[in-house]
Structure 1
Amino acid sequence: LEAYVSVLASEFSDGQALQALKLLKENLPASYHEGSKNPVARERVHSAATIAGIAFANAFLGVCHSMAHKLGSQFHIPHGLANALLICNVIRYNANDNPTKQTAFSQYDRPQARRRYAEIADHLGLSAPGDHTAAKIEKLLAWLESIKAELGIPKSIREAGVQEADFLAHVDKLSEDAFDDQCTGANPRYPLVSELRQLLLASFYGEAFAEQ
């Protein structure tokens, strides 16, 4: 997901990112539920992880990983889980054609994240003919929420076991450190520290991120 909307995405990484997502959509639930009884699904999930790694090794990542690095380090949350707790709100944040700040590269000279997320929904067969971009993004978010529920992923950082007082004591530092993370520069929307704080707070309480 992050590799496909990254400002460093290219024709070389796009196909790998989309193929990894398709393999995960088709095989991750079976691999999770059936385990060693379904070696084909397990193999395809491992392949998807590797293909995704090739994609983001070339296109890099974004603020979901920036925040997940700091969240995991501070509260000992496994890295994949930390990303899962944040990804839907990061999509809501990035899917904005008029961001506060925009990262600009030659191949990404204007906001394109909304269109790119809609393309992911199309590729995964989530959208219907006639759907507008906003509807496609909502269907992508709905699919992500449903697969997280199926895999038993908590709905919020708080549900993952982080105490509110502990989180609030660290959220300012988490936001500042996430801003300085190496992944932030490739995010399609260049964040303010205050916006990262809003994302973290919304994700802690299990709320959908909304612009303030």
Structure 2
Amino acid sequence: NTGMDVLTHALEAWVSPRASDFTDALAEKAAKLVFQYLPTAVEKGDCVATRGKMHNASTLAGMAFSQAGLGLNHAIAHQLGGQFHLPHGLANALLLTTVIRFNAGVPRAAKRYARLAKACGFCPAEANDIAAINALIQQIELLKQRCALPSLAVALKEGRSNFSARIPAMVQAALADVTLRTNPRPASAEEIRELLEELL
């Protein structure tokens, strides 16, 4: 869970309107480290070297988002944690590809996601933005599978029955969350509601 939170920190800093050359370098390296080392850190928890790489990734991503900010992913994840006590990293992981698709609706963010996919070697350098974004999303989904993360329905357990009833409160809280200010794409109440409904 924590490793996926690190990846979310890196990706949100990467597409933030406040991103800079400095935060880009930090976020890119953090993302690469997570994709490379998180599965092994999960499967072989006693491997100190691998866990050290994830520690480095966490620090790099933290340095990036402390300057560039976060975004919609965290704005909603905070509500899933508050309302249903989901682990913070899991809440972020469950939202990540959905939020990427949403943010990619604006050209700047789409190009940024595509650039990161190419930097990570997930697609050829000549791939168009759509193909590159799809490759990034595919790699994130594979990472979640390797880490054996549950679906939202499984994670919610008995809370699933009143998820829909809590959406309005989560939407309003997400709109007020400070992390939303640095999302690359403005999000309305209706759009956040749709993103939450899409999770189930």
Q: Same fold (TM over 0.5)?
A: yes
What's the CA shift for 1:130?
2.8
Partner of 2:86: 77
Partner of 1:208: none
Match 1:22 to one of 29, 32, 53:
32
Partner of 2:162: 166
Distance in 1 between residues matched to 2:20 and 2:125, nearest whole Å: 27
Partner of 2:14: 4
Q: What CA deviation, in whole Å up to 9, does each residue of 1:22-77 have, x standing for no partner?
A: 111111111110111x2111100011011100000000000000000111011000
Distance in 2 between residues matched to 1:120 and 1:159, nearest whole Å: 31
Distance in 1 between residues matched to 2:167 and 2:144, nearest whole Å: 24
Letter in 2 for 1:148: K
Letter in 1 for 2:168: D
Establish whether residue 196 from structure 1 lines up as the match of residue 192 from structure 2: yes
Partner of 1:31: 41
- Taking structure 2 as the reference length, what is the TM-score of the superposition? 0.92
Letter in 2 for 1:188: P
Partner of 2:135: 139
Match 2:73 to one of 64, 81, 84:
64
Distance in 2 between residues matched to 1:20 and 1:164, nearest whole Å: 33
Secondary structure at the counterpart of residue 156 of structure 2: coil
Secondary structure at the counterpart of residue 185 of structure 2: coil
Partner of 1:179: 175
Distance in 2 between residues matched to 1:173 and 1:34, nearest whole Å: 40
Partner of 2:6: none
CA contact (8 A) 2:70 2:183 kept: yes
Identical positions, percent: 39
Distance in 2 between residues matched to 1:88 and 1:159, nearest whole Å: 18
Q: Give 1:91-102 correspondences, 5 Å limit.
A: 91-97=100-106
Q: Give 1:82-161 correspondences, 5 Å limit.
A: 82-97=91-106, 111-155=107-151, 157-161=152-156
- Unaligned segments of structure 2, at least 5 residues: 1-10
Q: What CA deviation, in whole Å up to 9, does each residue of 1:156-190 have, x standing for no partner?
A: x2121243331011001101110110000100001
Distance in 1 between residues matched to 2:45 and 2:116, nearest whole Å: 27
> How many pairs are equivalent?
189
- Taking structure 1 as the reference length, what is the TM-score of the superposition? 0.87
In structure 2, the CA distance between the partners of 1:12 and 1:86, relative to structure 1 (3 Å rule), is same
Distance in 1 between residues matched to 2:66 and 2:125, nearest whole Å: 33
Distance in 2 between residues matched to 1:129 and 1:6, nearest whole Å: 23
The structure with the greater share of residues assigned to helix is 2
- Runs of at least 4 residues off by over 4 Å: none
CA contact (8 A) 2:118 2:125 kept: no
Secondary structure at the counterpart of residue 138 of structure 1: helix
Distance in 1 between residues matched to 2:126 and 2:13, nearest whole Å: 26
Partner of 1:101: none
